[in-house]
Amino acid sequence: MRILVVLAVAACSVPDGDYFGRTDRGEPDHFRWCNQGEPDRLDPAVASSTASTPLVHALFVGLTAYAPDGHSVASLATSWETSDDLRSMTFHLRHDARWTSGRGVTAYDIAYTAIRVANPLTGSPNSDSKQGYERRRDVAPYRAGEIVELTAPTEVDLAARTATRPLALRDLGAAEPVAYATVPAGAEVTLVMTTGERATLPSPDGRPWAYVQWARDEEGVLGWVPLAELDGEPHAGAVLHVRRVDAKNRGVDGVRPELEVHGGDLLYTPDVLGRDRFDPYTIVFECADPTPFMFAMTTNRSLRATPIETVSRWPVRWTRPEHIVTSGPLHLVEWHERDRLELVRSPTYWAPAEAKSARMTVYSMDDQAANSNYYFTGGCDATASNQVPSTYLPVLDGEQRGRPYKDYDVSPYLGIYFVWLQTEKLPDRHLRRAMALAIDRAPIPAFTHGGELPTAQLTPGTPIARLDAADLAACGVTHDTPGMALVMAPGELCYVPPPGLDFDLARARAELALAKDVPRPLHYMYNAGAEAHKQIAEYLQAAWARIGLDVVIEAHEWNSMLADTRAGKFELARLGQIGSVADTESEFLSLFRCGTPDNRGRYCNPAFERLMIEARTMRDRVARNARLREAEAVMIEDVPVIPIYVYTQKRLTKPYVRDFAINAIDQPPLWRVWIDPSWHP
């Protein structure tokens, strides 16, 4: 990592001109970006951080892509149709998409990513799919061919297989001599998929083939073998309980009958994922319920195509520069961990002119001051959002010098800053309610200086007082209605979240008096490197101390904190949620479904589940939103999270940078950015 000269803005003189940073232009065909930290992964199936997502979008194509305004536009898919019942979408793919290996990108590559996301072996944080098994024979009330899921014991790996002879793992249809790994006879492998299913490749030679994973080391390896060679099922005799997979009723006990079966009665299948295809350039996504936000979700990182040949050989390391195969407008050529990544214009992307710069350098500093200082000295041309220390903001926004700098921008953001509470470690609802009621959020923007919007509501949006007449009518509110509203379609559709547990010190003390299980001290985790997180942690610590709670605050490295919170190893933690589309159901409320990977607080309430399930069956968007509001009200009263404020985006951008699109979901198409050599007036 480069050594940076620290610029103490608050104590030193500041530039007197129009711009905060140096404006002498760098290389004209080279864009340098200060990201917000080290990417956790670049694999579309497992990447989860905001430091990773924009890079995944630049490296890998999806059915749709983000336009500069943040809306979904054609990409790998050139056209699509939605069924009248909002349960399926058919996408028609372009024929000129290529991987950097030269192979064409097809519908099977999209389906493969979806299969990887859903498969537990991948460990994807983006999955909320249950593992499905196909009934091999009729056992009343279920028939052969129906898809069921395990209820107990759930740890049995029914996809385990063995072979009496060594297995030569290779590409589909390849001969044994070109195998890249050999599984010893009798060693256990896991069946991932077979040829000829609804969303898998056809057999190249008429024989059924199996795609398996062998855990030979920490990384493992995957490959194809003729299905007939898998002649052993280690758990065929296991006694199991199953029930029909039904997305409408998932998470509610007692709705579907359970049945006792043996492991040999079931066959693992990815068909439960709800994909189908007609040919290599057509793919259909099917949902059990009306899904009005389906199209918007096709831009998501977890539906970006991934190359099966490369992933198979290096399941964990396949995105390293020495292995990576990409399909997007940019290609990775260097990755110096905790320092920088180097991306270049892809030689195989179908529209090379979209990649406006030949080269892009991405710096991985996770310290706000380091990013801002590097920008100030001319090291990078733009910063990622919210990489400016709060002590710099009064200078940048003109509060201290009378006029703002032209290269500093504040804009709206579809995101909510909140505190996760691990409900298994903090099971007392009265304690959690007391902690929410003890916080006066109003003073926070005064010391963060970022224009944030304090709120006790979970779903972010626009202050109702700022809405125009058409949106007020769509929301069913008036200008004097307090709180936020999420405008889903301007003038047509709106979601108004329920009020949260706002500041009330007397109620906070009353709730705490009812609490029976109060750990002392409590521990609050935040990520180091961002000045405002520390300030907010100290502010919350003082607020909770006023009602008698002892809270220890702890700074953690970003990726370490992500891993710990995902594993439930915390009591209180600073995090947030950024929406990729204006829809609370898919972007915010889904975090709180029982057992979903991003439910870091381990929250599970049957009443919330029931209301979410009921909403899923509704085609009428207004009625659906009303039911979702009921669900959010249940959740917010339980306090698995404490909302603090709606984010704003604060960033620095050199005046010679062009087409750095700022949108409400903070998904700039980085490949479109270019350097203007004639920027001066």
Structure tokens at 25: 């232009």
Residue 653 lies in a domain: no
Amino acid at 663: N
Residue 85 lies in a domain: no
Q: Are 183 and 191 in contact (CB under 8 A)?
A: no
Q: Measured between alpha carbons, how far is 344 from 354 in angstroms, rounded to an integer?
A: 12
Residue 323 lies in a domain: no
609 vs 300, which has greater pLDDT?
Answer: 609
**Sign (positive or negative) of CA dihedral 569, 571, 576, 577:** positive
Residue 259 lies in a domain: yes
pLDDT classification of 383: cutoffs 50, 70, 90: very high
- What is the count of structural domains for the chain? 2
Residue with tokens 């589909």: 172
Mean pLDDT, rounded, of the chain: 89
CB atoms within 10 A of CB 470: 13
Is residue 182 scored above 70 in pLDDT?
A: yes
Q: Measured between alpha carbons, how far is 325 from 327 in angstroms, rounded to an integer?
A: 7
What's the average model confidence in pLDDT over 519-527?
A: 95
Residue 324 lies in a domain: no
CATH number, domain of 568, equals 3.10.105.10
Is residue 12 scored above 80 in pLDDT?
A: no
Domain, as residue range, for 147:
128-273
Give pLDDT, residue 138. Answer: 61
Residue 417 lies in a domain: yes
CB atoms within 10 A of CB 523: 14
**Last residue of a domain, which of 229, 244, 273?**
273
What's the average model confidence in pLDDT over 457-475?
A: 94
Residue 533 lies in a domain: yes
pLDDT digits (tens, 9 = 90+) for 618-658: 989 999 999 999 999 999 999 999 999 999 999 999 999 99
Give pLDDT, residue 437. Answer: 98
DSSP β-bridge partners for residue 167 = 183
Q: Measured between alpha carbons, how far is 338 from 360 in angstroms, rounded to an integer?
A: 16
**Last residue of a domain, which of 273, 294, 311?**
273
**Last residue of a domain, which of 273, 298, 325?**
273
Give pLDDT, residue 250. Answer: 42
Question: What pTM does this model have?
Answer: 0.82
Give pLDDT, residue 523. Answer: 98
Residue 18 lies in a domain: no
